[in-house]
Amino acid sequence: MKFFADTANVDEIRELAETGLIDGVTTNPSLIKKSGADFKQTIAAICEIMPGPVSAEVAATDAAGMEREGRRLAEIAENVVVKLPLTIDGLKACRRLTDDGVMTNVTLCFSANQALLAAKAGATFVSPFIGRLDDIHIDGLILIQEIRTIYNNYAFRTEILAASIRSANHVRECALIGADVATAPPDVLKALASHPLTDKGLETFLKDWASTGQSVI
Ligand code: G3P
């Protein structure tokens, strides 16, 4: 399973990249707003730190406008993935960009039928939003399961990029289902490593080691 960092904060991305555990980055207009930084400069800076796929979202809503913006974003770096909304226009732009070799991420996916269309449009990634479905009392993980089944049925190559992940448990469930990628905020990614028994065990080991008076080197 690949892990993407869902943030536009360059410092956070740099810190996570140093772990060697992160395979890419996803951004969206809200995350860009939160960063307070210039959109295209931020994407360029992220692409320098992170060699894996970096999603940057278009702002136009018509197919021609999205295609134009997508081509401009794709010029920033070769690892830019053009993020397009799951609308008919977004799917049209997806097909055109994909046919020209531009990586695409069809976002704001909330149903299995939408994901089916994204795959038919040749999307590199589809982003089903788990947390936002949970917010309205619909189990987002069932959506991931349905998409996995449909993509397997027809050997679609579009990768399932589970998004709007809010907890370490979401990541675990997505991994069990077989999502290709989980994109999560830095605090959720860091939480994957933590366990109280690890902390307690380490504390005991360090105490016992200190009492031996030995050194490793
Ligand atoms: O990048 C899209 C997605 O992960 C947004 O998450 O928490 O705003 O629903 P959230």
Q: Would residue 217 count as lying in a domain? A: no
Q: Would residue 53 count as lying in a domain? A: yes
Total number of domains constituting the chain: 1
Ligand 1 pocket, mutate which of 30, 84, 132 (most atoms under 8 A from CB): 132
Q: Would residue 91 count as lying in a domain? A: yes
pLDDT by 10-residue block (mean), the chain, 217 residues? 98 96 97 97 98 98 98 98 98 98 98 98 98 98 98 98 98 98 98 97 98 97
Q: For residue 191, what pLDDT is reported?
A: 96
Exposure letters 86-123 (e unless 16+ CB within 10 A, then b): bbebbbbbbbbbbeeebbbbbbbbbebebbbbbbebbb
Q: Would residue 147 count as lying in a domain? A: yes
Entry pTM: 0.96
Q: For residue 65, what pLDDT is reported?
A: 98
Q: Would residue 105 count as lying in a domain? A: yes
Structure tokens at 40: 């295209």
Q: How far is CA 108 from CA 12, 85, 91, 114, 130, in A?
A: 24, 6, 12, 9, 10
Tokens 């990614």 locate to: 189
d(CA 154, CA 47): 33
Domain with 24 in it: what CATH number? 3.20.20.70
Query: Residue 104's domain spans which residues?
Result: 2-212
Q: For residue 153, what pLDDT is reported?
A: 98
Ligand 1 pocket, mutate which of 3, 25, 28 (most atoms under 8 A from CB): 28
Q: For residue 199, what pLDDT is reported?
A: 98
d(CA 55, CA 43): 8
